[in-house]
Chains A and B, each alone.
Chain A
Amino acid sequence: MEDATLVKLTETFDFLSVRASGDHSALNCPANKLFEVAQSLRDDFGFDLLVDVTGIDWDAASPRFSGVYHFFSTASHGYLRVVANCEDDINPQLPSISAIYPAANWHERETFDMLGIRYSGHPNLKRILMWDEYPYFPLRKEFPLAGIETDLPAPDVVETTQAKVKSAPMMGGPFVSTRSGPMSQAEPRARDESWTESEEKPTEPSDEAKR
């Protein structure tokens, strides 16, 4: 994207600040101004396509959650990233822009499903990937990849099968390809193959025990 648009944007909205970015232009935006900015981006700046809505969990940092928006202009062929921090770390909330960009509807539902960011003004804010009663937000930092044991959504199926949502066996995983080179030699494998769920990781004698 041309710098001119970025300059014009920061001039029009003095609360916007340029954000460090490795690729496309990026801006920081206060959460309460997001709707206004999105409206202007579509109507005045030609960003007619909302490519992606997602979020980031910064773990221990505060503000903990950020909403990330990628806009695209089909006229100037440029991307713009807008990041808005959620003020509340416990109950993160952002304004919904699905009234401006209908594409945001499902994206915001997904971000809510995965990170628990609530979008105020969303017409139908419910989970989109996990089932409605699922008690966790899987992409939050404290959530383990293997999952947490909980109940399946259908009581009758649970009654006949005794099935549960169980945490997946990690077997020393997660399974990643650590080596470069031909794929035949870089098969994904567990980083630490010394333990499985049945054979626990051998604990190294601590320094105190050595003494």
Chain B
Amino acid sequence: MNETTQIAYDSKVEGEVIVTRADAVVNWVRKHSVWPMPMGLACCAIELMASGGSRFDISRFGMEVMRFSPRQADCMIVAGTVTYKMAEVVRRIYEQMAEPRWVVAMGACASTGGMYRSYAVMQGVDRIVPVDVYVSGCPPRPEALLDAMIKLQDKIGRESSVKAIRGKAPAKEAEQKAEV
């Protein structure tokens, strides 16, 4: 009758209440379940696939749930050359992702246009979407991508968990001002 079940939270050890900040809890949850979406546009996507494979194993860091739909993902990894023709698509897919969302520019092309200094290539995807982490390399090795994703986790851990709401605030304020 008096058998007790060992659970993860032990009230005898930890007390009845845990005091923390909402940001810390929310960000802790978020950063350990980043669901990346591969925006594979060129050869960097091959390295991205290698990162997902068993040799490099991105799941060791809690972000293995690659989703190919923007509705189900919260981190877009732009892996490859963004042409001006494709820029529109990249932006639309970014807009289809639910908040909060992050963007990793993987490789030289996505970061700066790379070796393509030409009429057809957008000189960095940050011209159309806000980039959180840039990865150098042409293409970057999987370790570099893993490092970038870990840096993104750190960044998620540091930011305000209500970033999304705050991000929309200026528009709302503007509306309210207009109403007044």
A residues touching B (Cβ–Cβ < 8 Å)? Answer: 129-131, 136, 138, 143-148, 152-154, 157, 160-161, 163, 165-171, 173-175, 188
B residues touching A (Cβ–Cβ < 8 Å)? Answer: 84-85, 87-88, 91-92, 113, 115-123, 127-129
Give A150 Cβ to nearest chain B Cβ, in Å: 9
Cross-chain contact B85 with A175 (CB below 8 angstroms): no
A136 to B115 alpha-carbon distance, docked (Å): 22
> B127 contacts which chain A residues (CB < 8 A)?
161, 163
A109 to B113 alpha-carbon distance, docked (Å): 26
Q: How many A-B residue pairs have C-beta atoms within 8 angstroms? Tell me.
A: 63
**Residue of A131, A144, A188 ringed by the most chain B CB atoms within 10 A:** A131
Cross-chain contact A148 with B119 (CB below 8 angstroms): yes
Give A153 Cβ to nearest chain B Cβ, in Å: 6
Interface of A is mostly: loop
A169 to B128 alpha-carbon distance, docked (Å): 18
A-B contact pairs, 20 of them (CB 8 A): A130-B120, A131-B85, A144-B119, A145-B118, A147-B120, A152-B84, A152-B88, A153-B88, A154-B91, A154-B92, A157-B87, A157-B91, A157-B92, A161-B91, A163-B87, A168-B116, A168-B123, A169-B117, A170-B117, A173-B117
Give A24 Cβ to nearest chain B Cβ, in Å: 30
Cross-chain contact A168 with B121 (CB below 8 angstroms): yes
Give B174 Cβ to nearest chain A Cβ, in Å: 15
A165 to B122 alpha-carbon distance, docked (Å): 7
Cross-chain contact B115 with A175 (CB below 8 angstroms): yes
Q: Are A168 and B85 CB-contacts (below 8 A) given A130-B120, A163-B128? A: no
> B128 contacts which chain A residues (CB < 8 A)?
157, 161, 163
> B115 contacts which chain A residues (CB < 8 A)?
175, 188
